[in-house]
Amino acid sequence: MSGFKKPNVKQLMLFTGRAYPELAREIADLMGVDIVATRALNYANSEIYVRFEESVRGSDAFVIQSHAAPVNEWLMEQLIMVDALKRASAKRITVVAPFYPYARQDKKHRGREPISARLVADLFRTAGANRLMSVDLHAAQIQGFFDGPVDHLWALPVLSDYIESRYDTSTMTVVSPDAGRVRLADMWTDRLNSRLAIIHKRRDPNMANAVVVHEVVGDVSGKVCLLVDDMIDTAGTICQAAEALKTRGAKSVIAAATHPVLSGPAYDRLQASAFEEVIVTNTLPIPAERRFETLTVLSIAPLIARAIHEVFEDGSVTSLFDGRS
């Protein structure tokens, strides 16, 4: 039977869900590979069906899905794709989730609450995923929720390279919009060699109806202020922070965030905000009707493509960030 033995050659295969195929195609083009043809549909009762149109046996499979709204549908679709790959004998399955779903539910704040970020990791593992890849997790501890390797990618180099090419960072102050993002802002100051300021929200004891006062800790007068966060959802916090900075004499205010969730009133708030520019990446799709004049969208595809290449070649994902992180 030795004549039937085939050489053990690894085969990289890319798959995409239906949430944001444009990002997956951009990644595939950069890598010079094709996306595997997939038949996916919703039955009349909303159940999802998936079938791959070619053999995946023995492959190193990367399943790309961006978890935009409706998050639950796209999460379920990705889980079904992973299950299909496992049952079709893929050798290794990597879930590529640029925006990790339920990341903000990473701990219990009160009794009888779930830790949904952990549940999602368990679901991926049960479905058959061997590895996770994501960009700028809301909480670093999520890496420990998955029983297997987790590649935590940072969008900081992508965002900061753009900012350094457009602005004089020697006169810039990096601002954390609240106490929870100070660690992120600190990483930005290291990268840009800039000053740090923090916005602290408190209730005014002299005012009724729980009025929130924004105290700015740090020197922002006459400075270009860069508000940084991992995501912009409804944009309430970051727009209020921008107003507080302008009130305290900031020369101009720009924002940089990885994930443009842009839910509900975000478009109207950002459109009417004090921001000179709002810079995000394309980890999530932004429909044309949700875009505004001061919005800049940078591609995260080159970073993900390089990370997939390193994983496939058994290289070092960490090396992508060595030297400047």
Q: How far apart are CA 188 and CA 180, in angstroms?
A: 15
201 part of the active site = yes
Q: Which two tokens stand for residue 210?
A: 């729980």
Q: Find the catalytic residue in 91, 201, 246, 251.
A: 201
Unique residue bearing structure tokens 């810039």: 172
| Closest-CA residue to 161 (of 171, 169, 173) | 169
Which of 182, 185, 253 lies closest to 221, judged by CA? Answer: 253
Dmax over Cα atoms in the chain, in whole Å? Answer: 87
The encoded tokens of residue 97 equal 């989730």
Tokens at residue 117, please? 């970020």
Q: How far apart are CA 275 and CA 270, in angstroms?
A: 8
Separation CA 37–CA 31 (nearest Å): 17
Q: Residue 181 and residue 183: Cα distance in Å, rounded?
A: 6
Active site residues: 201
